[in-house]
């Protein structure tokens, strides 16, 4: 599966809201805080990438469209949550 297809699938999973982030040693309030922190991180990082902060690796100005940015944010949020020890599981 390509990276783009994997990110698209992640975006669809998040949009359906049939899954949730879980970590056994965290309560709902702590999980919500971590989701907000990771979402903010992902938005900031995707914004830096879109603005060319890291150089021209993302193509010429204007080539980094909204769809790519949304996929980038979803992937970065996923990475952040997993690095904090969370996993996605179906809602019960």
Domain boundaries defined on the chain = 3-90
pTM metric for this prediction:
0.68
Q: pLDDT digits over 39-85, tens only?
A: 999 999 888 877 765 555 555 555 555 667 788 899 999 999 999 99
DSSP 32: H
Residue 22 has pLDDT above 80, yes or no: yes
pLDDT for residue 25 = 96
Nearest CA among 91, 18, 32, 22 for reference residue 10: 18
């Amino acid at each position: 599966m390509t990276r783009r297809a994997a990110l698209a699938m992640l975006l669809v999973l998040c949009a359906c809201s049939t899954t949730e982030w879980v970590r056994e040693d965290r309560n709902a309030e702590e999980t919500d805080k971590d989701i907000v922190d990771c979402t903010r991180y992902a938005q900031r990082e995707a914004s830096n990438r879109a603005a060319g902060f890291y150089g021209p690796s993302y193509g010429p100005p204007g080539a980094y469209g909204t769809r790519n940015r949304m996929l980038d944010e979803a992937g970065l949020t996923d990475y952040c949550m997993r690095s904090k020890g969370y996993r996605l599981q179906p809602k019960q």
